[in-house]
A and B are shown apart, each in its own frame.
Chain A
Amino acid sequence: MSFFDRFRGRRASRSAQVAKERLKLLLVADRSSLSPEKLRAMQEEILQVIRRYIPSAELDVQVSIEQRERKHYLVANIPLEQGSVAPEYLDVTQPHHSSPSDIPPAEDEE
């Protein structure tokens, strides 16, 4: 489960849990010198860009912060599937891709 999801998802019933989540957010900010507010703004902007290219990403995309050892990473998981890319961004210069409606089947299905 990602860091932001955890932060949003869990109920604040136990103060230890609240403390831990607040601390995590605080340390991301301290270590990166980006305020929690800026981090969220950046996350939201990245999401907007992804949605522009991949409309179906609305539901599946996750931009989250993960900690490995003592470092934090901004991590995006973006599903790239058939038909997920917005028509205006399809690469029309390649053979067989002459129009958005003429997309060949994926290779492993041939």
Chain B
Amino acid sequence: MGARVITITSGKGGVGKTTSTANLAVALAQLGKRVVCVDADIGLRNLDVVMGLENRIVYDLVDVVEGRCGLRQALVRDKRVPQLYLLPASQTHDKTAVSPQDMVTLTNQLRADYDVVLIDSPAGIEWGFRNALAPADEVIVVTNPEIPAVRDADRIIGVIEAEERSIAVSVVINRAKPDMIRRGEMMSVADVLEVLAVTLLGIVPEDRRVTTASNNGAPLTLADRHAPVSRAFVEIARRLLGEEIPIRDPAGEGVWLRMARRLGLGR
């Protein structure tokens, strides 16, 4: 059985794609999976820094595509977790240095040796997103409970659904602030799901430690696996692996949202 290729994207920038990729990668590796993260944000690489692997990079994705090194040589192993690897993006090249077909070829090479390939997509619906989407078996759309982020998530979901091949789409709602939701100052998870009408994969709360963990070069899931953010990512990882874990509403209304997938809500 070859690896599953899962692309993490969003439409809007800065909603937490790279954070989600790094934390999910750690969670999946800790669950015993062989994981490779691919940074598809060519020209604006970040995943290496969030994972704390930036000093160990020798080659990058563009070097592989252009034949300057083998795929194995470019993979950076994370020594803190067994079986976790990063394929870094190039910082110097333009994103057109890689084509969607290159991405398919490259991930097909990885499929045999790993269980999960996570692709960190750039924001937008342009070239870089197309590169990240081309090899995907599944897509996780990350969004925040705010109008611009949800609107762009909807746009991206529309683009993915318009693809000829069918690609499973689910959504992760990041930076949920339970106290604001309870006060009616932020859209609830149910609100976001009602309009997006896609399967909910998980809810990740806002936590300042996401930033401090990133400062220290260790995703929070690695630095403190008991933090609510880390728990959320571990649960998402387990759901990806097929476990049925109910999703609890962070605003504490005790709604088990997983049951209410696909717009069962709010009608």
Q: Does residue B185 face the partner (Cβ distance < 8 Å to A)? A: yes
Residues of chain A lying within 8 A (CB to CB) of residue B181? 16
Q: Are B197 and A19 closer than 8 Å at their CB atoms?
A: no
The docked-state distance in angstroms from the alpha carbon of A70 to that of B198 is 8
Q: Are A14 and B185 closer than 8 Å at their CB atoms?
A: yes
Residues of chain A lying within 8 A (CB to CB) of residue B155? 30
Interface string of A1-33 (1 = CB under 8 A from B): 000000000000111110110111011001100
Q: Does residue A37 face the partner (Cβ distance < 8 Å to B)? A: no
Q: Are A24 and B195 closer than 8 Å at their CB atoms?
A: yes
The docked-state distance in angstroms from the alpha carbon of A27 to that of B14 is 21
Residues of chain B lying within 8 A (CB to CB) of residue A68? 263
Residues of chain B lying within 8 A (CB to CB) of residue A16? 181, 184-188, 191
Which listed residue (B146, B150, B151, B157) contacts A70, Cβ 8 A?
B157
Given contacts A15-B184, A69-B262, contact A26 B191 (CB under 8 A): no
Q: Are B150 and A23 closer than 8 Å at their CB atoms?
A: yes
The docked-state distance in angstroms from the alpha carbon of A31 to that of B156 is 11
Which bracket fits the contact residues of B? 20 to 34
Which residues of B175-219 are within 8 A (CB) of A?
A: 181, 183-188, 191, 194-198
Q: Are A22 and B187 closer than 8 Å at their CB atoms?
A: no
The docked-state distance in angstroms from the alpha carbon of A80 to that of B143 is 45
Q: Does residue A67 face the partner (Cβ distance < 8 Å to B)? A: yes
Q: Does residue B154 face the partner (Cβ distance < 8 Å to A)? A: yes
Number of residues of chain A lying within 8 A (CB) of chain B? 18
Q: Does residue B158 face the partner (Cβ distance < 8 Å to A)? A: yes
Q: Are A19 and B262 closer than 8 Å at their CB atoms?
A: no
Q: Are B184 and A14 closer than 8 Å at their CB atoms?
A: yes
Closest residue of A by beta carbon distance from B157: A70
Max chain B CB contacts within 10 Å: which of A14, A15, A27, A69?
A27
The docked-state distance in angstroms from the alpha carbon of A69 to that of B184 is 25
Given contacts A30-B155, A70-B157, contact A19 B147 (CB under 8 A): yes
Q: Secondary structure at chain A's binding surface: helix, strand, loop or mixed?
A: helix
Residues of chain A lying within 8 A (CB to CB) of residue B161? 70
Q: Are B146 and A19 closer than 8 Å at their CB atoms?
A: yes
The docked-state distance in angstroms from the alpha carbon of A67 to that of B193 is 12
Residues of chain B lying within 8 A (CB to CB) of residue A70? 157-158, 161, 196-198
Closest residue of B by beta carbon distance from A29: B151
Q: Are B195 and A23 closer than 8 Å at their CB atoms?
A: yes
Which residues of A40-96 are within 8 A (CB) of B?
A: 67-70
Residues of chain B lying within 8 A (CB to CB) of residue A27? 151, 154, 195
Smallest CB separation, B132 vs chain A (Å): 22
The docked-state distance in angstroms from the alpha carbon of A27 to that of B188 is 17
The docked-state distance in angstroms from the alpha carbon of A24 to that of B197 is 12
The docked-state distance in angstroms from the alpha carbon of A69 to that of B267 is 11
Which listed residue (B183, B187, B194, B198) contacts A19, Cβ 8 A?
B187
Max chain B CB contacts within 10 Å: which of A67, A69, A70?
A70
The docked-state distance in angstroms from the alpha carbon of A26 to that of B148 is 10
Given contacts A16-B191, A69-B262, A70-B161, contact A23 B147 (CB under 8 A): yes
Q: Are B184 and A17 closer than 8 Å at their CB atoms?
A: yes
Residues of chain A lying within 8 A (CB to CB) of residue B191? 16, 19-20, 23
The docked-state distance in angstroms from the alpha carbon of A13 to that of B158 is 32
| Chain A to chain B contacts (Cβ below 8 Å), 13 pairs | A14-B185, A15-B185, A16-B184, A16-B185, A17-B184, A19-B187, A20-B191, A23-B195, A67-B194, A69-B262, A70-B157, A70-B158, A70-B198
